[in-house]
Structure 1
């Protein structure tokens, strides 16, 4: 597995990019939420360290398996969303 840092990850769209520390010849690696191995809501945050396997996609490198540095991924604070949605109930 390679290691790298999440450049950015878009939660609503479910994808982002990793900047690898080695092994990808300075190419960014596409991440799709479906390859993140963790329980619950699969997300990452910018600057987070990850381990990953990489493959060749139609437009460049893609992650085939991603393990967040802490095994749990980024914590998501849904408090603001819940407060806004409670007015709909």
Structure 2
């Protein structure tokens, strides 16, 4: 079972299809529109609480399998 982490949406642009999560610990994490587990979870709001798994992307760690909390 993979560890789920918690954080807050720092900002997200639906037009650009990406944004950033501020985790409880560590630097901000990139989040892509395809990172959301639910296709109905689009356009998260700034300050929204989420849970996610850490994945390794092309430029380092990023958030994957993101869920609303």
TM-score tier by shorter-chain length is 0.7 to 0.9
TM-score by length of structure 1 reads: 0.66
User: Higher relative contact order by CA 8 Å / sep ≥ 6: 1 or 2?
Assistant: 2
Question: Number of matched residues?
Answer: 66
Kindly indicate which of the two structures has a greater share of residues assigned to helix: 1
Superposed structure 1 runs of 4+ greater than 6 Å apart: none
Q: 2:14 aligns with which of 11, 19, 30?
A: 11
CA distance in 2, matches of 1:59, 1:39: 24
Q: 2:24 aligns with which of 3, 21, 33?
A: 21
Unaligned runs of 5+ in 2: none
Larger Rg computed on CA atoms: 1
Kindly indicate which of the two structures has a greater share of residues assigned to strand: 2
CA distance in 2, matches of 1:47, 1:67: 14
